[in-house]
Structure 1
Amino acid sequence: MFSSAAYPSEPDLRVGLVPLNQFTLMPFTCMVECLRHAADRLDFSRQIYCQWSLLSKDKMPIRASCGFEILPTEIFNPKAKFDYLIVFAGLMPAALMAPPETRAFLQQMHAEGTPLVGVDTGVMLLAQLGLLDARDCATHFHHKTDLEENFPAVRPVLDQPFIDHGDVITCPGGARALDLILHLVGKHCGKARAQKAMRQLMVDPKHISSTSAHMPYASLTDCGDWRVEKAVALMEEHVSSPLQVSELAGLMGISSRNLTRAFQEQAGESPAAVFRNIRLASGHWLLLNTNRSIAQIAYECGFADSAHFSRWFHKTYSLPPNEFRQSRKRLGQIDG
């Protein structure tokens, strides 16, 4: 038996599922079953490491394209906290006819920083909201023409399982939805959680795609301000040897004040705070996916010592690094 005290107090991955009328059941089921198996030890289906909710404007049944109906578990709540909101659609033109309440909820959550995911023709709704203009969009070959005719500013891509822009992710649906959800589980919960789900679902291990740290500011790499985009790229290149703001600005040929103002406009934070959180995210991933010591991780993430790293990690993730690793990775590795 395992003590409940050994489990994390909060899930590592919180997902809101938003199926539209006539959504396709397969990608929805792929994602839910992966989350279910990754979320708990053995096969108890408790929402410990992952948490998911089925969201809608009301509690009325939502009909899938196959005729089955599902019931929402929660009504839209802009105050709810999710790491991702995933929009599922299917038959056209139903994907373009989302209720005003759904569009308003997604727009508000996106504006407040929650990444939106479009699966199958769920990408059509994201395009309709103007979130994919001048961007690549992972698209099902069957709907390439629909996308081009309705949203000529969007660039359809047919050979990718998903495309992650940070604030928006697109996926063509079908079995590709499994690639995407394994990617998200691996990034937020660690490879052990994703591998446990793959074993339970009898999926080929090649589907695990999380080989790098989850970057909390991925959207800044495509924010439209070259100063911020370049600075974030430099930050990610210098995780183990952090640069001062003045050094970053110097490399870019601008003043520290200019760079700081750009970050306040685009991120609402200083460059130093963004850089620290990028380094902490790298440490988070190393704790989940390696056996390196806390001291080694602190060094690799550019902190002066393990105490400095531990203090900031505790403040950001609510647990000291050792406790975090014990409650996530070590328990996950011995799951059946």
Structure 2
Amino acid sequence: MAAPKLSPGSMRRQQNARLTVGFVLVHRFTLCAFANFVDVLRLAADEGDRSRPIQCRWTVIAPDLRPITASCGVSVQPQEVFGNPKRFDYVVVVGGLIDEMDRRDERMEAFLRQAAETGVPLVGLCTGTFILHRAGLMKGYRGCVSWFHHQDFLSRFGGFKPVSDQIFVVDRDRLTCSGGTSTAHLAAFLVDRHIGKAQSTKSLNIMMISGAEDGATPQPGLTLDFATKDPIVRKALLLMQQSLDTPLSVADIARHLEVGKRCLERHFRDALAISPLSAFIEMRLMLARHMLENTDKSIAMIAAESGFCDSSHLSRMFRRRFASTPQSYRASLPATGKSV
């Protein structure tokens, strides 16, 4: 099917636009990632808050015009079929549920490869990075994925080491993002690049997001139980988050962050008044408690997945922290429908 012809008014807006984006939505895409990105464009596109696409233009494109369902159940109607990717400054792939990664769309991947061959920069939001990698378009590039999907990425794809300790990565003509509200910051980066800082700041302010974050900003996660703005400490916490089942030594963490062990310990002491090791143990205990509350996994399995030597080791540490054994803690919980 050929791309539909644009009306004269639409053609004028497209010609005048300083930033044009084509959105490719995968089946069960993440609505939050898409909405945050497109709203930054919407709010930057015009004076005031009238939502007219004057300086930015955005279009949802697909192999056909059938509605695409988000993970939350909301459906979005594509506006155009794929056609020529060069009509866009960027093609943005919005990923979704990890369970959908085995579901391939050859038409989508062929279009993305065509866009790459013609020099159109590609953007991956959330698990959109997975889609780009699977299409063979991330070789030699750094790519960002959410800390939540870090292990999923490693287990499904080889030959690529994901970046999970910052909110987005810009590597030449590949821009990848961890998802959630960080997509707004990546969109603001593009608005700043093509239209101006005033417009990007205006968009974030209207969305009640306090200031643009650069790509190196650490991703939030369970580590926000430790409130700190120290970037070294936050990156260390995020690295711990990604290694809960196979704990790293403090020396290994310091080496990864390219700082000295004593330097890392000093940052933790100043920021959190605890050692890196204590923070790591606390994080693993919080994970174990979460699994006790929300799963039917055995104590031995929980011990293994939270990085303890065995169930006895977990029990000792858990009792020291929560004044209860894991068995007693689970027994005290109200009956709920837990999953394995």
TM-score normalised over the length of structure 1: 0.58
Assess if the C-alpha contact under 8 Å between 2:85 and 2:114 holds in 1: no
The answer as to 2:168 corresponding to 1:166 is: no
Correspondence list, 1:261-276, <5 A: none
Report the equivalent of 1:321.
none
Q: Which amino acid aligns with 1:19?
A: L
1:169: how far off?
1.2
Distance 1:187 1:209, change over 3 A: farther
Distance 1:96 1:11 in 2: 37
Assess if the C-alpha contact under 8 Å between 1:195 and 1:208 holds in 2: no
The answer as to 2:42 corresponding to 1:39 is: no
The answer as to 2:140 corresponding to 1:139 is: no
1:33: how far off?
0.9
Distance 1:43 1:119, change over 3 A: same
Assess if the C-alpha contact under 8 Å between 2:85 and 2:120 holds in 1: no
1:151: how far off?
1.8
Deviations 1:164-221 (A, max 9, x none): 11221111101111110000100011111112212221221x31549xxxxxxxxxxx
Secondary structure of the 1:67 match is coil
Report the equivalent of 1:156.
162
Report the equivalent of 2:99.
93
Distance 1:143 1:57 in 2: 27
Distance 1:123 1:29 in 2: 18
Q: Which structure's relative contact order is higher, taking Cα pairs within 8 Å and 6+ residues apart?
A: 1
Pick the aligned partner of 1:207 from 205, 212, 221: 212
Assess if the C-alpha contact under 8 Å between 2:184 and 2:204 holds in 1: no
Secondary structure of the 1:58 match is coil
Correspondence list, 1:291-310, <5 A: none
1:95: how far off?
3.2
Assess if the C-alpha contact under 8 Å between 1:137 and 1:157 holds in 2: yes
Distance 1:9 1:112, change over 3 A: closer
Secondary structure of the 1:138 match is coil
Distance 1:208 1:156 in 2: 20
Q: Which amino acid aligns with 2:21?
A: V
The answer as to 2:118 corresponding to 1:112 is: yes
Assess if the C-alpha contact under 8 Å between 1:20 and 1:95 holds in 2: no
RMSD: 1.9
Distance 1:80 1:133 in 2: 22
Q: Which moved more, 1:69-78 or 1:147-156?
A: 147-156
Q: Which amino acid aligns with 1:207?
A: A
Distance 1:59 1:72 in 2: 5
Q: Which moved more, 1:149-158 or 1:51-60?
A: 149-158
Secondary structure of the 2:143 match is strand
TM superposition outliers: structure 1 runs of 4+ over 3 Å: none
Report the equivalent of 1:198.
204
Distance 1:103 1:22 in 2: 17
The answer as to 2:15 corresponding to 1:12 is: no
Correspondence list, 1:181-330, <5 A: 181-204=187-210, 206-207=211-212, 209=214
Secondary structure of the 1:207 match is coil
Distance 1:38 1:67 in 2: 28
Between the two proteins, the alignment pairs up a number of residues equal to 203
Q: Which amino acid aligns with 2:97?
A: L
Report the equivalent of 1:289.
none
5+ residue gaps, structure 2: 1-12, 216-340
Report the equivalent of 2:186.
180
Assess if the C-alpha contact under 8 Å between 2:36 and 2:181 holds in 1: yes
| Percent of aligned pairs sharing the same letter | 35
Assess if the C-alpha contact under 8 Å between 1:96 and 1:124 holds in 2: no
Distance 1:112 1:140, change over 3 A: same
Distance 2:104 2:208 in 1: 35
Distance 2:70 2:128 in 1: 13
Report the equivalent of 1:263.
none
Report the equivalent of 1:72.
78
Distance 1:49 1:29, change over 3 A: same
Q: Which amino acid aligns with 1:120?
A: C
Distance 1:193 1:100, change over 3 A: same
Assess if the C-alpha contact under 8 Å between 1:137 and 1:163 holds in 2: yes
Pick the aligned partner of 1:127 from 116, 126, 133: 133
TM-score normalised over the length of structure 2: 0.57
Distance 1:115 1:8 in 2: 18
Assess if the C-alpha contact under 8 Å between 2:201 and 2:212 holds in 1: no
Assess if the C-alpha contact under 8 Å between 1:186 and 1:208 holds in 2: no
Distance 1:118 1:8 in 2: 23
Distance 1:131 1:79 in 2: 15
Distance 1:95 1:196, change over 3 A: same
Report the equivalent of 1:291.
none
Secondary structure of the 1:152 match is coil
Report the equivalent of 1:48.
54
Assess if the C-alpha contact under 8 Å between 1:116 and 1:169 holds in 2: yes
